[in-house]
Amino acid sequence: MSRSIDYYFSVSSPWAFIGHATFLDVARRHGARVNFRPVFLGELFAETGGLPLARRHPARQRYRLVELKRWREARGLDFHISPAHWPFDPHLADRLVIAAQIAGHDVAPLVARLTAGVWQHEENLADPATLAAILTGMGLPTSLLEVAESDRAATIYATNQADAVEADVFGSPAYVLDGEVFWGQDRIDLLERALSSGRPPFTP
């Protein structure tokens, strides 16, 4: 029987971008279904005791930059450590993923394109015109932007948020397998071990 993984993330997250392709490759190789669950990190941090980057101690901010450089090298990715249009309000971009889900599209390529838009192309994903151009370039209808701004998309976004907190998720990306949280793209190897072994989930 196919297993499923709840994938909590925001398109604004560099760590979601860094781990996206690797995670999806692991899920495919193990025949796991991925449930894409965009969340608003600002509220998630506030509810679970996290701090936005600007409020973290300078030592933590500096270490984050070192880690980004390490993982850029380790994953063989080319991206900007401090892109031109970051931070930004991710509501519309995150909800665009939800809109694509509502319309029945495979959202994995869209998530890859949106995160690359932030970290590789330095695009302004808070700008509807930029998002429309991305949709057009992918052969997707720009009408998805209207769906992204709908009450239905907003409700799903809020539900994802509530479900994330209930699942003990507190950051992006988080991969939840059988109730066990694997936080951070640097836990993908451990996620794969869990998939390979078929062991029961570890609990607190």
The SS3 of residue 55 is helix
Which pTM was predicted? 0.97
What pLDDT score does 1 carry?
66
CATH number, domain containing residue 21: 3.40.30.10
Q: Which domain holds residue 114?
A: 4-197
**Residue 74 is assigned to a structural domain of this protein:** yes
What pLDDT score does 48 carry?
96
CA distance 193 to 188: 9
Domain count of the chain?
1
**Residue 43 is assigned to a structural domain of this protein:** yes
CA distance 53 to 185: 18
Q: What is the pLDDT along the chain (204 residues), one digit of tens a residue?
A: 679 999 999 999 999 999 999 999 999 999 999 999 999 999 999 999 999 999 999 999 999 999 999 999 999 999 999 999 999 999 999 999 999 999 999 999 999 999 999 999 999 999 999 999 999 999 999 999 999 999 999 999 999 999 999 999 999 999 999 999 999 999 999 999 999 999 999 999
**Residue 95 is assigned to a structural domain of this protein:** yes
What pLDDT score does 2 carry?
79
**Residue 202 is assigned to a structural domain of this protein:** no
**Residue 204 is assigned to a structural domain of this protein:** no
Contacts of 151-154 spanning 24+ positions with Cβ under 8 A: 152/102, 153/95, 153/98, 153/99, 153/102, 154/95
Phi, psi of 179 (to 5 degrees): 85, -5
Q: Using an 8 Å Cβ cutoff, are 42 and 52 in contact?
A: yes
**Residue 101 is assigned to a structural domain of this protein:** yes
- For 74, the token pair is 């380790």
**Residue 85 is assigned to a structural domain of this protein:** yes
**Residue 167 is assigned to a structural domain of this protein:** yes
